[in-house]
Amino acid sequence: MNVPAVLAMAVARKRAEAELERLALFAQLNPNPAMELAQDGSLERISKKEALGLTREMQKLQRSLGGIKELSSLPDALFVIDVGYQKGAVAEANKLGVPVIGVVDTNHTPEGIDYVIPGNDDSSRAIRLYARGVADAVLEGRAQSVEEVVAASRDEFVEVEEEEGGQ
């Protein structure tokens, strides 16, 4: 899966509808993308050249859109490590109103980034640290929201006492 393409396409899902429909069509032809279409027997009626072209197109669509085909809505936020390299994804997120959290190095401008994290985006150890920190924060936030929902549902439960003589 091509990570920059997934980031850019995740925030621009509306623009990718035609490609997603084409990917769904290929999935109907062959639900197992790892299997060659020619071996499956579904493309026996066309020439080898056409089958090879369709196979390559399906693999390209799966590589670039596979990560977002089940996405039902826009993401709540976009986390970017290298702001300069992912400037297309940042621009798409800004157009669609998706907040952007980004690690900004001294060689890039923080324009378009809603929540700036100053730091080194070149070191693999730093990238692991940032990614682990964001992943932990997301998991902690999800757990906290579940706890809040459970606590609110306990507060809403009220027992009603029935009168002994009435029905």
Residue predicted with more confidence, 73 or 127: 127
pLDDT the model gives residue 129: 92
Sequence letter at residue 63? R
Specify whether the CB–CB gap between 81 and 3 falls below 8 A: no
Domains and CATH numbers, the chain: 3-65 (no CATH), 78-156 (3.40.50.10490)
CA distances from 56 to 8, 19, 49, 133 (A): 22, 14, 11, 38
pLDDT the model gives residue 154: 72
How would residue 33 be classed by pLDDT, with cut points 50, 70 and 90?
Answer: very low
3-class secondary-structure state, position 102:
strand
pLDDT at 128 > cutoff 60:
yes
Q: Write down the pTM of the prediction.
A: 0.57
Sequence letter at residue 27? A
Residue predicted with more confidence, 41 or 61: 61
Sequence letter at residue 132? R
46 Cβ neighbours under 8 A, 6+ residues apart:
54
CA pair distance 167, 74, nearest whole angstrom: 52
Beta bridge partners of residue 101, listed in sequence order? 79, 115
Residue predicted with more confidence, 49 or 62: 49
Q: Cβ atoms within 10 A of the Cβ of 133, count?
A: 11
pLDDT, average across residues 36-49: 65
pLDDT at 34 > cutoff 50:
no
